[in-house]
Amino acid sequence: MLPCNARTQIASQGRRTLLCGRATLPVQGRGVNSEVMTETLTGLDAVDGRRPPQQLFRDLRTSAGGLGARDAARRLAVYGPNELSRKHARTWPGELLAQFTQPLAVLLMLAAVLAWLGGTPELALAVVAVILLNAAFAFVQERQAERAVEALAAYLPSGARALRDGRIADIPARDLVPGDVIEIAEGDRICADGRLIEGTVSVDLSALNGESVPAGRTADARFAPGPLLEAPELVFSGTVCVAGQGRAVVTHTGMHSEIGRIAALSQRGKTEPSPLERQVRRATWIIAIAAVAAGAAFLPIGVVAGLGWAAAISFSIGLIVANVPEGLLPTITLALAAGVRELARRGAVVKRLSAVETLGSTTVICTDKTGTLTENRMRVARIWLPGSEVGPDDPRARDLASAAARCTTANDTGDPTELALLRLAADLGIPVNTVERDEARTALHAFDARLKRMSTVDPDGVHTKGAVESVLPLCTGVRASDGLIVPVTPEVRADVASAVDRYANAGLRVLAVAARQLDPAPPDRAAAERDLHLLGLVAMVDPPRAGVAGAVSAAHRAGIRIHVITGDYGPTAAEIARQVGIGGEGRRIVTGEQLDHMSEAELDALLAEPDEVIFARSSPEGKLQICEALRAGGQIVAMTGDGVNDAPALRHADIGVAMGRSGTDVAREAATMVLTDDNFATIVRAVDAGRRVFDNVRKFVLYIFAHAVPEVVPFLVFALSGGAVPLPLTVLQILAIDLGTETLPALALGRERAEPGLMDRPPRSPRQGVIDKRLLLRAWGLLGVVSAVLVMAGYFWTLWRAGWHPDAGVSDHVYRLATTMTFAGIVACQIGTAFAARTDRAALRSIGLLSNRLLLAGIAFELAFAAALIYVPPLQEIFGTAALGPAHLAFLLPFPVLVWGADELYRWRRRKADGTRS
Ligand SMILES: Nc1ncnc2c1ncn2[C@@H]1O[C@H](COP(=O)(O)OP(=O)(O)OP(=O)(O)O)[C@@H](O)[C@H]1O
């Protein structure tokens, strides 16, 4: 119960409810008799979940059959949705304020103070404007990135199975109300507090008490005094069912639940910075330090060259402010968030921003078969009875189908294997009524992925179905064609084995069905699954999904290896693998048993080979073992999984991939990425998106870095000439470029489409940083140098035309004109750089000159901004510019083409060296 001092407000469908201790008082009673409701709710809220079921039903005004839909809707209106109210750790003023305490912002503030003290208040104001703009920009970007991640919750609504109007219905977890009866099965996240009324389950309570050992809970437990969380008959919201199944009546929802009380879920964990962010942060610091060092070095040099202290101080501050890449980090976060959003639209929900870049460097995908490579829509294609394959008309086929259909737990929905068996029975004219099936059943030994079989104890005996090698050893007899039971001889085994191989080689999934008449039924599994009689085999088709073969070949072209890890039989998996193109000729199959007997070194050696392997009859431990071996070998592993037992492997992989449709809640929790369409092709698409995001981050880093050289060279020329050449660029002009004209084109580069050949290259090495030597060489050594040469040519040409001579000095107008040429020259060169940066190696032609509309808009903005600075008189005053004439503009015109052309040549040479054409 909520403590009385914990006043909590929950918003619910436009009405607010004030909760205080045991009383819940509706504030607005639209359409509800508030007096009656208040009385009712007081009763419900005081419910003690530890009372015996019958009393609890009375207290909650419900029954074992659950609630009616209308009653549930009424309760929902009063109680509010079954959600935890979200408490943001930081509100927006706090987040905005935090932008000003970032170390780089503090550095800039220091620069502003220095500029003020140095006697240049206009520079101080400009720096303050930079700080404000940057903080606002970073704040908006971070909020957007956060929202992108939060919005993902909408893609993954959690659901519950509740009895409504007497039928099991899948409903959103937020619609659960006290009094509902819910079904709980292995792998489910329990979404409300309740009392078990049927069955036994094992629950992981770690979200509530930090205890990692699962606790047993059973409907039959008697009341025992003690802490609520240890009550053996209660289950709690936020915990996970790791084994068993049962039904529970919901006693508390939303903020009334134990987890709501502790409010554990509303405290969001601190998000770890991604490796990319860490790298960029480090690079930012290195550049900031270099900028400060360059600024400090300029001070004495500038004074010696004859600038005077005030001008030298202001120029060094300008150098620092311009070169500290304070906007880089939020821009990268935004690029990652845009990647996450795009992936969600394409069917892959990524839970961490950093996963986007990890995806891009994936080298191995370990995939399961059923449902990921295949459609998971099974249909029985063949029936085999001891001796021969038979058609559906054979009366003994009906016995087999009936036994198999009785040995199921699926209803209208459920395991596709079981649905296929229920359909077979219906097609043969012996449909199974699932309600009667469940009522008549005296024991259920659920499907166990390790044993690979399940059994039911029904009034007429035991029915077992499962993998042939799991069921056959339990059989002492075989039902022969005349209906008599004959012993299992070596001939019979050979017969079965050859049938299994025949079906498996055709890609069919084979299940053995066995039975035993028995009265009374033994309660334990070992006793029930003994002395069985093999009835026959069913073989099912589950065709490969459309698009998987294409995705496999795309992954291969991208240098990614694919291993199949499946619970199914080796030859079946190998045939499906062949159909989709995984593995070469003579596919290597390693069974779970073989894997168990392999030493670590043997497994490492196997996985180091270039072959793709089919791991068949694998266990969850095997999956983890394979994952560890691959990672130890330096691979970046994406691993799929759907069961409870897959969680460790999913957590351990670089990218754990869970199935959104067929997977369990546990697997979804453990995974980094959830596929909303369960499709293998989506994993490959996600890798593609990851590579693209990483590439785009490099593109705008290249663009932003390239301007450093044409900005620093003018200062070097001035310093090295001992002041004979007037300083070619003013401090406010530098700021206007770095913080004005460049911003939008840089952002637009972050949205560039994938360049051709992106998925034709091998995966990036995880050790390759986003800012590497090649990028720096291209930015500074090529684009920067070409730009600097052109820019200085423009500057000297302007001076020369006006008759300048080192000894003669220049008039103010000529100096303004010349520095304006430097400014405009850098802008023109950066336009060329922007086009060059659009591809890393491909020719610009291959992606289309005009294909990035955002960039075109950004360049239009850049030109308008520069034109305003050059031609609008008040701005001319501030920025020390003068209007350029047609001759000047004609001189500048080829600059973008020359810069871009030089880079085009560089990329052409690189492609030639690598032997690629695009
Ligand atoms: N509902 C079931 N009842 C009895 N046996 C089953 C059932 N489902 C699967 N099996 C048997 O257990 C084996 C392993 O099944 P499991 O579900 O672990 O893997 P899978 O779905 O075939 O493969 P993947 O791991 O690729 O999804 C199957 O090959 C089949 O023989």
Question: Which residue, 541, 564, 583, sits at the end of a domain?
Answer: 541
365 shares a domain with 394 = no
771 shares a domain with 824 = yes
Which amino acid residue places its CA nearest to atom 28 of ligand 1? 568
pLDDT at residue number 378: 92
- How far separated are the first and last CA of the chain, in Å rounded? 66
Which amino acid residue places its CA nearest to atom 12 of ligand 1? 452
Q: Is the peptide bond before 3 cis (omega within 30 degrees of 0)?
A: no
Task: With beta carbons less than 8 A apart as the criterion, state whether 81 and 14 touch.
Answer: no
Choice among 45, 193, 204, 368 that is catalytic: 368
Cα(578)–Cα(584) distance, rounded to whole angstroms? 8
531 catalytic, yes or no?
no
Is residue 116 in some structural domain? no
Is residue 92 in some structural domain? no
pLDDT at residue number 42: 44
Task: With beta carbons less than 8 A apart as the criterion, state whether 379 and 419 touch.
Answer: no
Is residue 633 in some structural domain? yes
For residue 883, report the distance from its CA to the centre of ligand 1, in Å.
77
Which amino acid residue places its CA nearest to atom 19 of ligand 1? 567
Atom of ligand 1 lying closest to residue 512 CA: 31
355 shares a domain with 441 = no
Is residue 131 in some structural domain? no
Which amino acid residue places its CA nearest to atom 27 of ligand 1? 370
612 shares a domain with 533 = no
887 shares a domain with 763 = yes
Q: Which residues of the chain have pLDDT under 70?
A: 1-46, 85-91, 145-146, 148-157, 207, 210-212, 223, 262-275, 322, 326-327, 519-523, 916-918
Task: With beta carbons less than 8 A apart as the criterion, state whether 545 and 386 touch.
Answer: no
Q: Give, in order, the Cα–Cα distances in Å from 678 to each of 38, 370, 556.
A: 45, 10, 20
Cα(843)–Cα(918) distance, rounded to whole angstroms? 7
* pTM score above 0.80: no
Atom of ligand 1 lying closest to residue 642 CA: 27
> Half-sphere exposure of residue 839, counting CA atoms within 13 Å on the CB side?
25
Q: Give, in order, the Cα–Cα distances in Å from 844 to each of 357, 440, 760, 806, 847.
A: 24, 71, 18, 42, 6
For residue 376, report the distance from its CA to the centre of ligand 1, in Å.
11
Task: With beta carbons less than 8 A apart as the criterion, state whether 694 and 360 touch.
Answer: yes
Atom of ligand 1 lying closest to residue 371 CA: 27
Specify the amino acid at residue 438.
Answer: D
Question: Which residue, 207, 229, 262, sits at the end of a domain?
Answer: 262
For residue 567, report the distance from its CA to the centre of ligand 1, in Å.
6
pLDDT at residue number 627: 93
Ligand 1 binding residues, C-beta < 6 A: 368-371, 415, 417-418, 447, 449, 452-454, 465-467, 509, 511, 566-569
Is residue 310 in some structural domain? no
SS3 613: strand
For residue 566, report the distance from its CA to the centre of ligand 1, in Å.
9
pLDDT at residue number 9: 31
Which amino acid residue places its CA nearest to atom 20 of ligand 1? 567
For residue 527, report the distance from its CA to the centre of ligand 1, in Å.
23
For residue 137, report the distance from its CA to the centre of ligand 1, in Å.
52
List Cβ neighbours of 579 (8 Å cut-off, separation of 6 or more): 507, 544, 549
521 shares a domain with 590 = no
204 shares a domain with 177 = yes
Which amino acid residue places its CA nearest to atom 17 of ligand 1? 567
Which amino acid residue places its CA nearest to atom 16 of ligand 1? 567
Which amino acid residue places its CA nearest to atom 6 of ligand 1? 466
Which amino acid residue places its CA nearest to atom 5 of ligand 1? 466
**Domain at 878, CATH number:** 1.20.1110.10
Cα(31)–Cα(354) distance, rounded to whole angstroms? 48
SS3 15: strand
802 shares a domain with 730 = yes
Is residue 251 in some structural domain? yes
**Pocket of ligand 1, candidates 417, 462, 562, 679: which has the most ligand atoms within 8 Å of its Cβ, to mutate?**
417
pLDDT at residue number 315: 75
487 shares a domain with 613 = no
Which amino acid residue places its CA nearest to atom 8 of ligand 1? 417
**Pocket of ligand 1, candidates 418, 447, 569: which has the most ligand atoms within 8 Å of its Cβ, to mutate?**
447
**Domain at 54, CATH number:** 2.70.150.10
Atom of ligand 1 lying closest to residue 572 CA: 29
For residue 100, report the distance from its CA to the centre of ligand 1, in Å.
57
450 shares a domain with 355 = no
**Pocket of ligand 1, candidates 365, 424, 452, 680: which has the most ligand atoms within 8 Å of its Cβ, to mutate?**
452
For residue 470, report the distance from its CA to the centre of ligand 1, in Å.
11
Phi then psi dihedrals of residue 703, to 5 deg? -65, -45
* HEC secondary structure over 301-337: HHHHCCCCHHHHHHHHHHHHHHHCCCCHHHHHHHHHH
Task: With beta carbons less than 8 A apart as the criterion, state whether 254 and 81 touch.
Answer: yes
Which amino acid residue places its CA nearest to atom 24 of ligand 1? 566
pLDDT at residue number 19: 31
Which amino acid residue places its CA nearest to atom 10 of ligand 1? 466
Atom of ligand 1 lying closest to residue 510 CA: 31
- Counting runs of H as helices and runs of E as strands, what totals does the chain give? 37, 27
Query: What interface predicted TM-score (ipTM) does this complex get?
Result: 0.97
**Domain at 594, CATH number:** 3.40.50.1000
**Pocket of ligand 1, candidates 407, 511, 525: which has the most ligand atoms within 8 Å of its Cβ, to mutate?**
511
Range of the structural domain that residue 556 is part of: 340-374+545-686
Q: Tokens 């993902």, residue?
A: 152
Atom of ligand 1 lying closest to residue 369 CA: 26
Measured at the alpha carbon of residue 891, what is the angle toward residues 890 and 896, in degrees to the nearest 5? 95
Question: Which residue, 487, 506, 541, sits at the end of a domain?
Answer: 541
Cα(229)–Cα(204) distance, rounded to whole angstroms? 12
For residue 186, report the distance from its CA to the centre of ligand 1, in Å.
16
For residue 452, report the distance from its CA to the centre of ligand 1, in Å.
6
Atom of ligand 1 lying closest to residue 367 CA: 26
**Domain at 420, CATH number:** 3.40.1110.10
Dihedral of alpha carbons 901, 906, 912, 914, sign: negative
Atom of ligand 1 lying closest to residue 509 CA: 29
For residue 506, report the distance from its CA to the centre of ligand 1, in Å.
17
Atom of ligand 1 lying closest to residue 568 CA: 29
Is residue 126 in some structural domain? no
Which amino acid residue places its CA nearest to atom 31 of ligand 1? 467
520 shares a domain with 474 = yes
Measured at the alpha carbon of residue 91, what is the angle toward residues 343 and 2, in degrees to the nearest 5? 100
Atom of ligand 1 lying closest to residue 409 CA: 1
452 shares a domain with 410 = yes
Specify the amino acid at residue 491.
Answer: E
Residue 404 C-alpha from the chain's centroid: 39
Cα(388)–Cα(536) distance, rounded to whole angstroms? 10
Is residue 76 in some structural domain? yes
For residue 367, report the distance from its CA to the centre of ligand 1, in Å.
15
Number of structural domains the chain divides into: 4
Task: With beta carbons less than 8 A apart as the criterion, state whether 244 and 199 touch.
Answer: yes
pLDDT at residue number 5: 33
Which amino acid residue places its CA nearest to atom 4 of ligand 1? 466
For residue 889, report the distance from its CA to the centre of ligand 1, in Å.
73
Atom of ligand 1 lying closest to residue 415 CA: 1
**Pocket of ligand 1, candidates 366, 423, 462, 568: which has the most ligand atoms within 8 Å of its Cβ, to mutate?**
568
For residue 568, report the distance from its CA to the centre of ligand 1, in Å.
6
